Structure 1
Amino acid sequence: MAGRLIALLVATDEYQDGTLRTLAAPHHDATALAEVLCDPAVGGYRTSVLRNASASRVTREIESVFTKARHDDVLLLYFSGHGIKDDAGQLYLATTDTEHGLPRSTTVPAQFVRDQIDRSYSRRTMVVLDCCFGGAFPRSHVHRAGEEVPVQEFLSGRGSVILTASTALEYAYEIDGVAITGGSTRSVFTEVLVEGLRTGDADLDGDGLVDVDELYRYVYHQVRDRNPKQTPKFDCTFAGPLIIARSPKGPRLGVGLPREVVDALRSPLSAVRHAALGYLIEFVDGEDPLLAGSARRALDQLTADPDSQVARAARSAIASPGQPVSNQASASARHHETVELAVQEAAQREQLNHLFVNFSRRSQSLVERQLGVIDRLKQEERDPDHLASLFKLDHLATRMRRYSENLLILSGHHLGPESPNPVPVVDVVRAAVSEIEQYSRVSWTTAPALLVAGSAARDLVHLLAELIDNATAYSSPETMVTVTVVEAADGRLVIRVRDRGVGMTDRDLDEANRRFADPPAIYPGGEVIHRTGMFVVARLATRHRIAVRLSDGDGGDGVDALVAVPADLVRPAS
């Protein structure tokens, strides 16, 4: 019988002891992690969340989960909150009723957790610790300070995997990332963990499964990129891989094949994918059984290729396995040059994506620091004229942050943590307007009492901000840009952005609408440099099945941008 997947998430952000600072991240972290673990496409875990529970309840729940586990169960224990230690250096996990001076009787001792791991029948356990205690860090990162605590020394039980936020509990960080509804923050470590599982990016080898080693390598590099002062640590006592999740993307095309063939199969050019079929046929009829199996899987996947010619050729190759190799291989030989060019092009695109991500991360950090300085100046300033100038600087910095986020979107990354709850439409529109420089030129009608799914809200804000910003940029400063929000009869949320600018030619409108419906791949030196906003809107719209269409404004003046959000992402406000 297949084992169960069981997760217990413990989040403590409020403390009765005044020496333990209230935290912003744990509740939101646990909620986000629970959502992704429960997703059948990712894990389908039986998940329980304890928030601000007493020490006795947490220890009872931990013991219950580990005691009742079967041999083939996978157990995941996650803890987010403060960590403290006594004079002997023993580690304790703080709970809401913890008394700092009485750690042995009012906390969850790390030794207790290790004992449960060692005594459990399950030999597939994973403990994830995102712990902190005390201290503060400047804007964008709240430093969870304390003395160094080598967690692996306390939690290295047999058959267990221990993943911690840092080398010691002193350097776990929170991100000052306010959601559009306000106040939602995440830790750097857990944000990356959730992102890797939710997107499937933690599946580094592309086989459709995420094991603990892949997850650690993904988390390590992502955390180090975002915050070089934090170094996640990993201790694994398993002899083989421990699969903890599936990639929602499924196995990637070409897994198990030579790199140059994989690049060709994943090329956006249908001619290159067609050329790579010759390689697959050679591999299928070759002497390497593993390579042959990988090639057959790739042929099966290519039968669903969007290009009918490629799909038809793949089906033909599967239907005629005994066909002589020489006839097929000759076609491959004729296309070797095309494939090599495609490999070089794919490498350039990958380098471009890495450049986008690195530049975006660095510039975002600088912008956040700039916003922090501006916030402090606004609090201290009393002169109305100077305050007005500071508000203009604030909006300019916010616009710079959006431009930086555009690079993340173009490289295929998500903007960051999603809202754990649905977001009112009025807040979505208000947030989008606040993202642009000429916000005073935008007027909008009262939005219907609807909520947008938290998974799409942040991207919808960014999409609308791009359209509204474009409308103000290409219309006269004396004119207004209007935003109208209505609920359609079929339940969709329809948002119209109308300007009174110079408009667009029919050819440009058709081209823009084609790109919105079918976003093209981004090539080095391509037109994305000149039409960044269009590409960003297309990427975000495709991600959430949002329909975007441009048309001439009333009377031929300006442009109307219609945004239709699917009904399954919208619901009435209770």
Structure 2
Amino acid sequence: MTQYLQDPALWALIAGTPLAATAIIRGRKARANLRREKAELEKRAADLENNYAEAVQEAHTRAEEATKSALKSAMRTLQGLANEQQLAISKTQDKYGEHQILQDLLEIDHMNSQFGRRAQSIAVLCDGWLGRQRAVASVYDVVRSAKGRIRHYTRVEIRSQSNFALVSRAVEPVALALAELLDNATSYSAPDSPIDITIRTVPKGVCVIIDDAGVGMNEEEKNRADKLLSATHATGVTGLGNPPQFGFAVIGVLAARYGFTVSVDSASPYGGVRAVVLLPRTF
């Protein structure tokens, strides 16, 4: 027995046993803590997933509401034009047979053109059909068609002409894009100021230049317009705001779809905005 008690290995074993037991206990506690932390992390992950799903649903709801609001506001515009048209028709019926009938019919036709333009714009933003395809036409005739689709058409002056012809598939899209630019130009400039249109042949095709005498745009507005007009930053209905601003968004979709470019990043000679539409020779 004394021999065993004098064995160093025995004393080392006796001394190490409490340490080993302590290490085992600590290891068990560490594993228990890790299991608790894992459970907490799993719970947090589940909560985050639920919160994410709720956030997505909330964002979807907001987008849906924004879409409905934008379309509702647009419909008000269409309803207003429809009411004006109906009133003009009623007046024409009362005056039937008088010499003013031609002028009355022209007014009806003009209001109907505005009605059709707004409907086309909504269709474009919803990836819809423009509704009609015209025959081959000169740029000058397309510009005249665009002029007739805005409310304040009498303020628009076409300063030059061009025999450059557009293929039939491009006539209506270009006319609608120009009409939206002209509508912007008349809306954001003084009621008595003119809007000048110049048609210029360039090596890459033909440029239609629209100059207004409005307040112009600051850098933030120019950047936003550039994004809307860019093929890579086309927006949907939910990005139009309330009330919706169709112009640049519609033009951007048309430009991307039919292959022409539009810029509004320079000033006109009158201090307003200069819009340049470049129609390539492939048109």
Class of the TM-score when normalised by the shorter of the 2 chains: 0.5 to 0.7
* Alpha-carbon distance in 2 for matches of 1:556, 1:425: 24
1:139-158 correspondence to structure 2 within 5 Å: none
Query: Residues 530 and 522 (structure 1 numbering): CA distance in 2 closer, same or farther, change over 3 Å?
Result: closer
Higher relative contact order (CA 8 A, sep 6+): 2
Match for residue 99 of structure 2?
Answer: 383
* Alpha-carbon distance in 1 for matches of 2:208, 2:140: 11
CA offset at residue 396 of structure 1?
2.7
| 2:125 maps to 1:410 | yes
Match for residue 441 of structure 1?
Answer: 155
| 2:112 maps to 1:397 | yes
Q: Does the 8 Å CA contact 1:485/1:495 hold for their aligned counterparts?
A: yes
CA offset at residue 389 of structure 1?
5.0
SS of the equivalent of 1:527 reads coil
| 2:208 maps to 1:499 | no
SS of the equivalent of 1:477 reads coil
Query: Residues 507 and 356 (structure 1 numbering): CA distance in 2 closer, same or farther, change over 3 Å?
Result: closer
CA offset at residue 380 of structure 1?
4.1
* Alpha-carbon distance in 2 for matches of 1:459, 1:375: 33
- Greater C-alpha radius of gyration: 2
Structure number with higher helix proportion: 2
Query: Residues 396 and 450 (structure 1 numbering): CA distance in 2 closer, same or farther, change over 3 Å?
Result: same
Q: Does the 8 Å CA contact 1:501/1:559 hold for their aligned counterparts?
A: yes
* Alpha-carbon distance in 1 for matches of 2:161, 2:89: 31
* Alpha-carbon distance in 2 for matches of 1:523, 1:508: 18
Amino acid at match of 2:195: V
Query: Residues 443 and 340 (structure 1 numbering): CA distance in 2 closer, same or farther, change over 3 Å?
Result: same
Amino acid at match of 1:424: S
Query: Residues 418 and 553 (structure 1 numbering): CA distance in 2 closer, same or farther, change over 3 Å?
Result: same
SS of the equivalent of 2:208 reads strand
Match for residue 195 of structure 1?
Answer: none
Q: Does the 8 Å CA contact 1:497/1:561 hold for their aligned counterparts?
A: yes
Q: Does the 8 Å CA contact 2:156/2:197 hold for their aligned counterparts?
A: yes
1:7-406 correspondence to structure 2 within 5 Å: 337-338=51-52, 341-342=55-56, 345=59, 352=67, 356=71, 367=82, 370=85, 374=89, 377=92, 380-384=96-100, 387-406=102-121
| 2:232 maps to 1:516 | no
Query: Residues 428 and 550 (structure 1 numbering): CA distance in 2 closer, same or farther, change over 3 Å?
Result: same
CA offset at residue 496 of structure 1?
0.8
Query: Residues 519 and 333 (structure 1 numbering): CA distance in 2 closer, same or farther, change over 3 Å?
Result: farther
Task: Provide, for residues 20-75 of structure 1, a one-character-per-residue CA deviation record: whole Å limited to 9, x for no partner.
Answer: xxxxxxxxxxxxxxxxxxxxxxxxxxxxxxxxxxxxxxxxxxxxxxxxxxxxxxxx
CA offset at residue 550 of structure 1?
0.7
SS of the equivalent of 1:550 reads strand
Q: Does the 8 Å CA contact 1:423/1:451 hold for their aligned counterparts?
A: yes
* Residue in structure 2 matching 1:471, options 170, 173, 185: 185
Aligned residues with identical type, % of pairs? 24
Amino acid at match of 2:207: V
CA offset at residue 506 of structure 1?
2.6
Amino acid at match of 1:382: E
* Alpha-carbon distance in 2 for matches of 1:510, 1:334: 36
Match for residue 273 of structure 2?
Answer: 559
| 2:165 maps to 1:451 | yes
CA offset at residue 403 of structure 1?
1.9
SS of the equivalent of 1:416 reads coil
Query: Residues 391 and 332 (structure 1 numbering): CA distance in 2 closer, same or farther, change over 3 Å?
Result: farther
CA offset at residue 337 of structure 1?
4.6
CA offset at residue 344 of structure 1?
6.2
CA offset at residue 376 of structure 1?
11
CA offset at residue 567 of structure 1?
2.7
| TM-score (ref. length: structure 1) | 0.35
Task: Provide, for residues 459-481 of structure 1, a one-character-per-residue CA deviation record: whole Å limited to 9, x for no partner.
Answer: 11111111111111222232211
Q: Does the 8 Å CA contact 1:522/1:528 hold for their aligned counterparts?
A: no
Q: Does the 8 Å CA contact 2:92/2:104 hold for their aligned counterparts?
A: no
* Alpha-carbon distance in 2 for matches of 1:541, 1:465: 14
Amino acid at match of 1:403: R
CA offset at residue 418 of structure 1?
2.2
Q: Does the 8 Å CA contact 2:207/2:279 hold for their aligned counterparts?
A: yes
* Cα root mean square deviation, aligned: 3.8
Task: Provide, for residues 144-173 of structure 1, a one-character-per-residue CA deviation record: whole Å limited to 9, x for no partner.
Answer: xxxxxxxxxxxxxxxxxxxxxxxxxxxxxx
Q: Does the 8 Å CA contact 1:406/1:536 hold for their aligned counterparts?
A: yes
Match for residue 292 of structure 1?
Answer: none
Q: Does the 8 Å CA contact 1:476/1:501 hold for their aligned counterparts?
A: yes
Query: Residues 528 and 429 (structure 1 numbering): CA distance in 2 closer, same or farther, change over 3 Å?
Result: farther
SS of the equivalent of 1:500 reads coil
CA offset at residue 552 of structure 1?
3.9
| TM-score (ref. length: structure 2) | 0.66
* Alpha-carbon distance in 1 for matches of 2:278, 2:121: 21
Task: Provide, for residues 527-574 of structure 1, a one-character-per-residue CA deviation record: whole Å limited to 9, x for no partner.
Answer: 263422222222222222321111343456111011112332x2xxxx
The total of aligned residue pairs comes to: 231
Query: Residues 495 and 343 (structure 1 numbering): CA distance in 2 closer, same or farther, change over 3 Å?
Result: farther
Query: Residues 416 and 350 (structure 1 numbering): CA distance in 2 closer, same or farther, change over 3 Å?
Result: farther
- Which stretch of structure 1 is more off in the superposition, 440-449 or 425-434? 440-449
Q: Does the 8 Å CA contact 2:211/2:269 hold for their aligned counterparts?
A: no
SS of the equivalent of 1:529 reads coil
CA offset at residue 348 of structure 1?
7.0
SS of the equivalent of 2:238 reads coil
Q: Does the 8 Å CA contact 1:486/1:495 hold for their aligned counterparts?
A: yes
* Alpha-carbon distance in 1 for matches of 2:50, 2:171: 45
Task: Provide, for residues 473-500 of structure 1, a one-character-per-residue CA deviation record: whole Å limited to 9, x for no partner.
Answer: 222232211111122212x221111111
CA offset at residue 429 of structure 1?
0.9
